[in-house]
Structure 1
Amino acid sequence: MSSTEVAQVAHAELTALRHAFELARRGPAGGPNPRVGAVLRSPSGDVIGEGWHRGAGTAHAEVAALVDASARGTDTVGATAVVTLEPCNHTGRTGPCSEALIAAGVGRVVVSVVDPNPVAAGGAQRLREAGVDVTTGVLADEGRAVLGAWLASVERGRPFVTLKLATSLDGRIAAADGSSRWITSEVSRHHAHDLRAEVGAIVVGTGTALADDPSLTARNAAGELHGDQPLRVVVGHRDIPAGARLRGPGGELLTVRTHDPAEVLAELTAREVRHVLVEGGPTVAAAFVRAGLVDEVHAYVAPVLLGAGPPALADLGITSIGAAVRLTTRSVLPLGPDVLIVATPEREEH
């Protein structure tokens, strides 16, 4: 945040914005809409309302905060709205938040992240035209972190893609006889289910679907299905058997009859999927890497040596070390005996 922004934003407003970030995180992570939080402050500085977006079709955070203020019997005229994302300026499943704030008599709006979505953007300008004092770009890095994959998806015009790998220390995903349960620990598997719960879709190839008969569900530590399940996507031309676990309880099953990752993402973009988890196998994983369509890698690595068996990635067509796909490590997290390495392709740095 610049010195000019610091001068324009009171300490109490920064505190309110950080609380709004906490509210935003209560919203669903894997849906088509962003996680947004809002806090309303009276002219005297009291918090008079707060809210967050609970998912597609529900009130946006600003409107939820206005409803909360009304329920408390407080007057919003002259109030300050502190929001994590620029109020929308369009009518979709709900009306424009900019108009709701204007109608409520809000006098000032503090915004963390300007909305990059051309369909919804323009709220700050509309508010200014109505005489509302608006400050944008406040704690923007923190705001972008809360928006996560949604923001990257909107900026790229396609779903954000996380490639998940679960391997032995020597990069194998199964033993020579094909057995793979379990290379990684129970701690890693629980963590991977939490990751599944945050995405809109899980992608595997028909080879994995037929060989492993996965369910591709997101479950909690007790083995129960999470309330919101990701779309289950199988890429390839072979059919999924009628009795496959993919046809059991869980998210909708979608078969995309192609081997082109760009076509897969186009189909998922049309379905408003913002975050895709590619779980394999090696052929599909390599196809996404070759296409330059992997934005982040989550590599669960177990201290196990196999010496033989299928690798995590099929041939990438790389013949020299200079052509290697290099990544920047973002974090390393111990998970029981394993470690999770989160890394991003170096092209993201450019």
Structure 2
Amino acid sequence: MWCAVPLAAVVQFALAVARTDPSTRPRAGLDAAGLGPVRMSLLAAASTAISCTLGSGVALLVCLELRGDLGGTPLSGSAERLLDGQAHLPWGATLTLLGLLPALASATCAVVLRPRREATAPQPPVDPEAETAAPAPKPAVPPTPKPVYTGLPWGIAIISVGLAMEAYVGRGPAPDPDTLLSLPGRTDGASPGVIGGWLLASLGLVLAGPGLTHWCGVLLSAGRPGAVRLLAGRILQDAATRIGRPLGVLCAVASGALAAAELYGAAWEGSGPRPFGPLTGLGAALVMACVTATAITAALDSRQSRTGTTAALQRLGLPASMLRGAAVLRTCVLLAVLTPLTWAIAELAALPMTR
């Protein structure tokens, strides 16, 4: 259970890297060599599995060295007490690191990156006599439908349900720092209702991420915008689906971290016991690093997808300073909207348990 959140964060980061890897994208001429879209997705899954296996192997070697199981270096046994070097390393931990992580990451890449078949409308039957008499008019090209971000109202509703669940269940004193993950609701451990409320609030943030990003772009483009503001707003609206979900995950993790710091900070004295151990801090740092890297990777992928548009704008004489100003404006607007929202949800999540 402790490995579930870091495992999900690493798998999400592996998927983001595989999605933006230029060597696994379909290119013209590869179909003749037998590398179509399906095989390219399998190639991306295999590359992800190899990368995750190598990284997990290095992590296992570092863990064994710090435990003192290998020996021969100055760092051997430096964390023997912390990593329980006196006992044998559990097989379940080794299999989770070396087997479950690469398998989940590669399977997720194979499923998500597999090409989807687009549904085509059935064509009406053609009368040969009518076709010889007069040429049939060309069918009108339907306009491209605008994406509908239905996740925003659902995200707001799920956040409200999660906070209400925490307010109802989380009635109790401040957590005891001597107990591992002690939350109000149960005296011997974590309360399922409180954890469920946290998970619902986090899920709501993830679902609301694309919609919030889209409406940030709409806000920038409202009124009579200038060139920089219009460009920044249109880019945000176009990239809402691509960068909104990773930003929602990042906000959810940051909100959980702020709520945990607020909840445990009241009971954490400088001379008393520590509610968070080094391994908990290592797991939190891993999750935060992965979700931050995923958001950055999604932003770079969005920038790469706009290469043709950017080149066309530069050929029209648009200065590079205007493009940089639009990028800075997009970043500032997202920070101005998402940062107070993340902080407010974290405070509301911790408020029922700190009273």
Greater helix share, structure number: 2
Greater strand share, structure number: 1
* TM-score, normalising length: structure 2: 0.24
* Bigger relative contact order, structure 1 or 2 (CA pairs below 8 A, ≥6 apart): 2
* TM-score, normalising length: structure 1: 0.24
